[in-house]
Structure 1
Amino acid sequence: MRGSPDRRLGWLLSSSALSNLGDGIGKTAFPLLGASLTRDPVLIGGLSATAFLPWLLFSLVSGAMLDRVDRRRAMLLANSARAALVGALALLVLFDATTIWLLYVMALLIGTVETVADSAAQALIPAVVSRSGLESANGKLQSAEIVGQTFLGGPLGSLTFVAGASLPFLLNSVGFALAALFLLAIRGQYRPRVVGPAPRLRTQLGEGLGWVRRRPLMVRLLVFAAALAAISELAQALLVLYALDGLRLNEAAFGVFALVGGVGGLLGAALTARLTRAMPRRTVLALSVVGCGAAFTAMGLVTEPISASILFGLFAACIVVLNVIIGALRHALIPEHLFGRVLGVWRTAVWGAIPVGALLGGALAAWLDVRAVFLVSGVLQLGLAGALWLVLGHYQREIAALDADEPEPDDPEPIRHEQVMPAPTPEPTRPEPTPAREPVADESATAGA
């Protein structure tokens, strides 16, 4: 029997929550293990950069492959592979056979598989919810990520690391394995239908790049998101050193510090829909970036742990609001049969900017200090908020498509809805959203990032 959309979304969210729990444990345990091997800020920043480097190298290929294969199966296999890799790392830690360079290798391998797992989860969202439910589904996916990675995974990773350095990696492996098992409960086929001979991979990559290039709104959002990712990672890559050395917290307290960020993230996910109903999305996005910048600027000035953790919670809340809106906008505007490729382009630029920011942050901290990096990151984010406000003032019609279940009647480029949907009734065709028009001087806009 085929599952209902709500049930399929529930299984997908449950699987994502478990895999994010594994991610949260690992993202706390990895830097703690790295800090136990070295306190060099360049090497710590490099470890964070290595974890995100696969998004720069393989996002395009992973996205194109997801438009050729069953996305549920790809996600299942990727989570299984992550379980095996992290399980092997747990054994190496148990037998005291780790070095900082081994951590680099494992971070690279796990990050490579993650490009498939995370992109597949995003690509499955439009297949299990209606267009009108995209923002809600993205909010739930963000909440699952926050609960798993920071609310539960962060504290659990730090506490178990204190009990035994190999234990968090073992729990990480179990989380990925359970996430794979949960995907077995999602019935149906999730492979995009290909009409005629399957195109070459190179052709598919070109289609994704071409789609983005022809849409000025997506290009501008892409540039903004990449800039924010790099600027915020200047400081985020050094968070473990900020907490352990700057705030004088121990390893267990570091998880509690991350927990406050999780609480802030959950608050942001819960408030996003209310905020976008009360204010234009352009305003919400700009204010959220202001909140991010103000939080990091203040973190560079305070020395008291409670104040610093509250500020980190503010940053997490604001960044989640951004992620929820931008995820919903992507789903509303990108045709499903192109979603994997376009998401690959997006994450190559945005997530590929993260290792650049991490390396620059490590170098800047070695030149100045960790606290100064937070100040620099915060001030740059405040400047980015002003630029975002100005840029999004010209795209009211394109951004308004986020709220529409049906495309605009004058869409000139209808695109067939080619995703195979496991639903009892055929999925209707859906034209591609209208390409960006020339700006109108007095046009106000709402936006999603």
Structure 2
Amino acid sequence: MTTDRRLTWLLGSSALSNLGDGIGKVAFPLLGASLTRDPLLIAGLSATAFLPWLLFALISGALVDRVDRRKAMLLANTSRAIIVGALAVLVLLDATSIWLLYAMALLIGTVETIADSAAQALIPAVVDKAGLESANSKLQSAEIVGQTFLGGPLGGVTFAVFAALPFLLNSAGFAIAAILLLAIRGNYRPKTTGPAPKLRVQLAEGVSWVRKRPLMVQLVAFAAALALTSELAQALLVLYALEDLGLTSAAFGVFALVGGAGGLIGAAVAPRLTKLLSRRTVLTAAVAGCAVAFGVMGVVYEPVAGALLFGVFAASVVTVNVIIGALRHALIPEHLFGRVLGVWRTAVWGAIPLGALLGGILAAWLSTRAVFLISGALQLGLAGTLWVVLARHENSIETLGEEPALSGPSPSSSPGSGESAPAPGESAPAGA
């Protein structure tokens, strides 16, 4: 099978699993809002969904570097189909509570750490380095189409029909995503030169690789800060739409659709922008776009204006993710990718629960609108900081990680650390 076809199957599976994610990410908060309007509990639901990244991302990344990554994705999607299917049955039986939603969100999030890490690690196996930015753009597009452009409206409309329907569709999306992975042939287990090292040794290698590279450390710190500051407001999006803008559950799905359209625009223009302007300029401008969008959302009262601003935020944050994703794939050796991604997502996605809880506390103390203003102001500060920091690494950023010290093999010499496997024939949250 050619590289393009393997990438097509991977993107198709990703789009369907993200369709399930998108339906769930609208249906979960809507179900939660039908049980309570406490902003802290609603924000806590979002925090719980991302908590597994803080707890298990390192371990999941190490596991992904020990097993066939395609099979890991297949098993994870099958597991998610079963978990969400069980939730649909409980909703049908009217046997839900806010605490049950917390438990289900934790389970689904835990399995997601495997699925997403494996999907990211598969990309360098199906495209060469020159195609990384394009492949990341396509993966972001598949995520946006699945999660927001289709999943968001479907989640809102089907929840309005009857509460269990979006969860049934969610389960079906994960199941079909697993089936599509069967079309990808080949062995996608990282090649090693000896017996697999102990898990703690592999974890240490990932941490050590990041720690010795100042650019990677600074990218992780920036992405974590962006994830935290944007999640302050994002965790409260359902309350902002339902209470501040006065939308219905079905209209909330349309609100998410506008965000999806913005995200698609961001995914489409990001590779083109980096050919016209420096990556430093595009990244900084995109973060500033996130800041302005959320800041202005805090003062508008018109639903259409609020939705359009959310679309601007989505376009900006996807532009950030496309560029950072391509840099990450270019900088990280293939055999270490799962572990380094585990370090990345422990910091970045681990910041999301903290941002969600802080957003809930601030909303209870001040208001939802005030949280959007605070989030925008903090992200504007991040944009300025990023411009200064990237000036020190402009050559590495603009050459997409071609600096030998960054793209070379891991300095680790521990047994079984492995060589970069030959290619067998060769997304979010902010900063994903």
Letter in 1 for 2:421: Q
Note the C-alpha offset of 1:65: 0.4
User: Deviation string for 1:154-203 (max 9, x for gaps)?
Assistant: 00000000001000000000000000000000000000112112100000
- Equivalent in the alignment of 1:329: 327
User: What is the aligned counterpart of 1:422 among 416, 421, 424?
Assistant: 424
CA distance in 1, matches of 2:137, 2:323: 8
Q: Residues 411, 314 of structure 1: CA spacing in aligned structure 2 closer, same or farther, 3 A cutoff?
A: closer
Note the C-alpha offset of 1:234: 0.3
Note the C-alpha offset of 1:126: 0.1
CA distance in 2, matches of 1:297, 1:411: 36
Once superposed, which parts of structure 1, at least 4 consecutive aligned residues long, lie more than 4 Å away?
Answer: 410-417
List gaps (5 residues or longer) in structure 1: 428-447
CA distance in 2, matches of 1:53, 1:66: 19
- Equivalent in the alignment of 2:357: 359
Q: Is the counterpart of residue 16 in structure 1 residue 14 in structure 2?
A: yes
Q: Residues 299, 418 of structure 1: CA spacing in aligned structure 2 closer, same or farther, 3 A cutoff?
A: same
Q: Residues 115, 413 of structure 1: CA spacing in aligned structure 2 closer, same or farther, 3 A cutoff?
A: closer
2:362 is paired with a residue whose SS is: helix
Q: How does 1:276-355 map to 2 (within 5 A)?
A: 276-355=274-353
Q: How does 1:80-95 map to 2 (within 5 A)?
A: 80-95=78-93
Letter in 2 for 1:236: Q
Letter in 1 for 2:367: D
Q: How does 1:239-250 map to 2 (within 5 A)?
A: 239-250=237-248
User: What is the aligned counterpart of 1:58 among 56, 59, 66?
Assistant: 56
CA distance in 2, matches of 1:345, 1:412: 17
Contact 2:17 2:174 survives alignment (8 Å): yes
1:188 is paired with a residue whose SS is: coil
User: What is the aligned counterpart of 2:69 among 57, 67, 71?
Assistant: 71
CA distance in 2, matches of 1:403, 1:411: 7
User: Deviation string for 1:389-409 (max 9, x for gaps)?
Assistant: 0011011232234175xx65x
Q: How does 1:36-435 map to 2 (within 5 A)?
A: 36-402=34-400, 408=404, 414=409, 417-423=419-425
1:395 is paired with a residue whose SS is: helix
2:400 is paired with a residue whose SS is: helix
CA distance in 2, matches of 1:419, 1:412: 14
Letter in 2 for 1:127: A
CA distance in 2, matches of 1:401, 1:341: 24
2:325 is paired with a residue whose SS is: helix
**TM-score, normalised relative to structure 1:** 0.92
List gaps (5 residues or longer) in structure 2: 411-417
Contact 1:191 1:420 survives alignment (8 Å): no
Contact 2:58 2:346 survives alignment (8 Å): yes
CA distance in 2, matches of 1:412, 1:315: 32
Worse-superposed segment, 352-361 or 391-400: 391-400
CA distance in 1, matches of 2:424, 2:287: 39
Contact 2:132 2:329 survives alignment (8 Å): yes
Identity of aligned residues (%): 72
Contact 1:72 1:120 survives alignment (8 Å): yes
**TM-score, normalised relative to structure 2:** 0.95
Contact 1:188 1:421 survives alignment (8 Å): no
Contact 2:278 2:398 survives alignment (8 Å): no
Letter in 1 for 2:301: T
User: Deviation string for 1:236-271 (max 9, x for gaps)?
Assistant: 000000000000000000000000000000000000
CA distance in 2, matches of 1:399, 1:390: 13
Letter in 1 for 2:291: G
User: Deviation string for 1:99-149 (max 9, x for gaps)?
Assistant: 000000000000000000011110000000010000000000000000000
1:161 is paired with a residue whose SS is: helix
Q: CA RMSD of the aligned region, Å?
A: 1.5
How many residues get paired? Answer: 421
Q: Residues 73, 304 of structure 1: CA spacing in aligned structure 2 closer, same or farther, 3 A cutoff?
A: same
Note the C-alpha offset of 1:411: 8.1
